[in-house]
């Protein structure tokens, strides 16, 4: 079976599929399938990282709102946000952002598909991160909150200086999993024609009739992307760990 595989597939021209590139990269304006693969990888990384930034910012804000004392209105808003975004399938949310919102709100027609996909993926993930932030804050002893209040801190100040630095240390392992998931979930961008890895695999697999090699290459790139995130988060966890507070040596299972 392996003898039938075309190992020069990625060195072929995307137009006439002839092997014309000694380095497998296109020259003089020509494009090889390897060029196309790395371009698709770039789109995947761009979608995932942009969505991750939105997810971390919005998820942190919503997570904090859900733990505010004596403000039931903001707590209900945070709870509603989480229930809304985590109970609708991601693919449906992508279609809502791409097809429904531009029809209801004309301003969204000016947004390129990339922005709409990033917003959909980022807000979907923000609900999951908000839940983790809430859990991290509520896992802290109440004495830390009271200590901040005793020092004369306002609510924003004791969240900033006392509670959040400790809560984030607690939730780094689930945040690592979420950061890796966002790379995998970015595959849904193919549904609105973002030229990322999954769309590349589908299109090149059909054009070349060599889907096995194509999907193997795409799988390797997804795994590499997730592993890079894993190692970055593991380093952050190691450097920010507070001895005796978060269990040492709990680095696996991300």
Position 2 scores a pLDDT of 58
28 vs 240: CA distance, rounded Å: 49
Q: What is the pTM of this model?
A: 0.88
Question: What DSSP state is assigned to residue 100?
Answer: I
Q: Are 36 and 15 in contact (CB under 8 A)?
A: no
Position 17 scores a pLDDT of 72
Position 4 scores a pLDDT of 64
Domain boundaries along the sequence of the chain: 34-240
User: Is the CATH number of domain 34-240 1.10.3720.10?
Assistant: yes
Position 250 scores a pLDDT of 44
Phi, psi of 42 (to 5 degrees): -60, -40
Length of the chain: 254
Residues of the chain below pLDDT 50: 247-254
Sign of CA dihedral 95, 96, 97, 100: positive
3-state SS assignment for residue 91: helix
What are the tens digits of pLDDT across the range 206-253?
888 888 889 999 999 999 999 999 999 999 988 888 776 654 444 443
């Amino acid at each position: 079976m392996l003898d039938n595989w075309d190992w020069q597939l990625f060195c072929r021209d995307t137009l006439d599929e002839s092997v014309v590139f000694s380095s497998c990269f296109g020259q003089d304006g020509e494009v090889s399938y390897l060029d196309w693969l790395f371009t698709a990888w770039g789109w995947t990384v761009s979608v995932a990282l942009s969505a991750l930034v939105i997810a971390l910012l919005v998820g942190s804000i919503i997570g904090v709102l859900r733990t505010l004392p004596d403000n039931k209105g903001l707590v209900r808003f945070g709870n509603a946000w989480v229930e809304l975004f985590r109970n609708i399938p991601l693919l449906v949310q992508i279609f809502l952002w791409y097809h429904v919102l531009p029809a209801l709100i004309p301003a969204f027609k000016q947004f390129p598909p990339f922005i709409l996909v990033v917003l959909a993926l980022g807000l979907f993930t923000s609900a999951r991160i908000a839940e983790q932030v809430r859990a991290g804050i509520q896992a802290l002893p109440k004495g830390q909150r009271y200590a901040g209040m005793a020092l004369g801190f306002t609510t924003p100040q004791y969240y900033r200086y006392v509670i959040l630095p400790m809560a984030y240390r607690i939730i780094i392992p689930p945040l690592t999993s979420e950061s890796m998931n966002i790379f995998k979930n970015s595959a849904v961008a193919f549904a609105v024609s973002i030229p990322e890895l999954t769309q590349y695999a589908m299109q090149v697999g059909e054009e070349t009739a060599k889907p096995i090699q194509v999907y193997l290459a795409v799988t390797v790139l997804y795994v590499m992307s997730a592993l890079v995130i894993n190692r970055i988060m593991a380093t952050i966890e190691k450097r920010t760990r507070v001895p005796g507070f978060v269990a040492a040596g709990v680095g696996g299972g991300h």
